[in-house]
Structure 1
Amino acid sequence: MPPTRDTSRPRAGGGPLAPSRLRQAWSLIALVLGSFVFAYPFLWMIATSLRTRQGVAEGGVSLWPVQWHVENYVDGLSSFPFWQYLTNSLLTTIPPVVFTVLSSSLVGFAFARIPARGAGAVFAVVLATMLLPGEVTLVPQFILFRELDMMDSLYPLIVPSLFGAPFFIFLFRQFYLRLPASLSDAAIVDGAGWFRIWWSVYLPLSQPIIVAAAVLQFMSSWNNFLGPSIYLTSDRWKTLPLALAGFTSANSTDTSLLMATSIVVVLPCVVIFFLAQRHIVGGISFTGAK
Structure 2
Amino acid sequence: MSDSVSIALRFALYVDLMLLFGVALFGLYSLKGQERMSGAVLPFRSMLAGTAVLGALLSVASMLMMASAMSGESDFAALRPHIEMMVLETDVGLACVVRIVALVTAGLAVMLRAPGFSLWVVAFAGGLALSSLAWNGHGAMDEGSRRYWHFAVDILHLLAAGVWLGALVAFALMSKINALQTEARIRLLARAVNRFEVIGAVIVVLITVTGVVNYLFIVGPKLDEVFLSTYGILLFIKVVLFAGMLVLAALNRFHLGPFLERSLQDGQYTTAANALRRSVVVELVAAVVIIGLVAWLGTLSPEMGAL
TM-score, normalised to structure 1, is: 0.31
Structure with the bigger RCO (C-alpha within 8 Å, sep 6+) is 1
Greater Rg by CA: 1
Determine which structure has the larger helix proportion and give its number.
Answer: 2
